[in-house]
A = this chain, B = another copy of it.
């Protein structure tokens, strides 16, 4: 249909309702929300097949691509799963589909007052555990770094890291003297290693971490362990952040928006 002869719809969505809608909601979002509601309310019970693409086109009066976009959203939310040639099926979504963003952790305290202090940087030899994690031979040279991040002058997190030594990659010079926290966190990804695996656990402070953070051994903490990798998934850095438990919490939301 040529848009210059459009009658009931415009490109941005449905025409503003007579009542005067405040916000224009895109059609694909309207459809996604409508279908999400039906899944949540049990109109499409877990495991059952949703109406096909063409049926939904008729129901909502939109073109296939628009329905498709809505389905993509629902699929990314884990609400439905599409199967080629068979159909799209409602999933049973539960708590385990929740996803926590780490930025809900940093957002509250990550500001200009954050300061990073280099505690030590040295060359050492990989022990068995380090060698296994970094996929190098035991006894190979690795860089060992310890950093402390302070917030309002107080220790907030303690970072220990082993980095594969590669003379062709002058990491040490450029990375060790970081003073800005943002650059520090940034160094975990943007310019450095595009891939990685992270694990978050609750731990008790060992003697070393406790001393660094100025707390008592055995105190409560979060441990964010990381293995950063290069483009071909070869491990380059292994380490862990020890976070003071009171300062950090992960938040997540269920449901639309």
Q: Which residues of A contact B (CB under 8 A)?
A: 36-37, 40-42, 46, 65, 76, 92-103, 105-107, 110, 182, 185-186, 188-191, 194-204, 220-222, 226, 228-229, 231, 245, 248-256
Contacts and interface: CB of A to CB of B under 8 A. Distances in A.
Contacts of A93: 189-190
Q: Which of A76, A94, A107 has the most CB of B within 10 A?
A: A94
Nearest to A253: B197
B250 A200 contact: yes
13 contacts: A36-B194, A94-B182, A95-B106, A95-B198, A96-B101, A96-B107, A96-B185, A97-B103, A100-B100, A195-B255, A197-B251, A202-B222, A229-B255
Contacts of A251: 197-200
A103 B93 CA distance: 11
Contacts of A250: 100, 199-201, 250
A98 B102 contact: yes
A64 B198 CA distance: 35
Contacts of A198: 95, 98, 100, 251-254
A233 B106 CA distance: 26
A185 B42 contact: no
A37 B92 contact: no
Contacts of A41: 191, 194
A224 to B, nearest CB: 8
Nearest to A255: B195
B40 A190 contact: yes
A62 B190 CA distance: 28
Given A97-B101, A228-B254, 10 more contacts: A37-B194, A40-B191, A95-B106, A97-B189, A99-B99, A100-B102, A195-B254, A199-B252, A203-B245, A250-B250
Contacts of A94: 182, 185-186, 188-190
